[in-house]
Amino acid sequence: MSRGFVKEDDLELAGTDIPERPISTLPNYVTPSGLAQLQSQAEALAQEYQQLAARKEDPVISQRLAVAEREARYIEARLESAILVDTTQQDKETVLFGAQVKVEDEEGNHHTFIIVGEDEANIAENKVSYVSPIAKAIIGKKVGDSAIWQRPVGNMQLEILEIQY
């Protein structure tokens, strides 16, 4: 496109319209560490905002400021809707929210998962959301029970070996 058809104001505002992060409509269950993680993120975003606000005339800084504001709105909404789950009051014999579960797949491989809230999920740390297919398959099970994990690459049978809270 020719520069003749571009207004200078348009270039200055390019990329500042940041779409909102979608907020899940499901209950926002959190573990104590998940709640602490959200609170820590809120504090970090507040600090970042303060640092960036002083230089908001810079278009690059303005863009980063817009992203920080959007993230802060998301985190605040998640904190307001957080439902802290006290795992000490749960049945220790059953896989429920907050459980660390050791399973054996049909090939004899062992896997350990921790069932957490949506914002806390991190597969690198073996933390899976309570709404994930694997969590849905094993919630409500007890040691020795089998579960079918429905996966896009094919179903896999899992046996519950251990439950810890």
Same domain (yes/no): 109, 144: yes
What single DSSP character describes residue 16? -
Number of separate domains in the chain: 2
The whole-angstrom distance between residue 32's C-alpha and the CA centroid of its chain comes to: 14
- Contacts for 6-15: CB closer than 8 Å, 24+ residues apart: 12/59, 15/63
Q: Where is the domain boundary, 49, 66, 84?
A: 84
Q: How far is it, in rounded angstroms, from Cα 147 to Cα 59? A: 53
Q: What is the pLDDT of residue 52?
A: 86
- CATH no. for residue 135? 3.10.50.30
Question: Residue 133 belongs to what domain range?
Answer: 89-164
**Domain contains 39:** yes
Taking the chain (165 residues) in runs of 10, the rounded mean pLDDT of each run is: 47 64 97 96 94 81 90 97 93 96 97 97 97 97 97 95 96
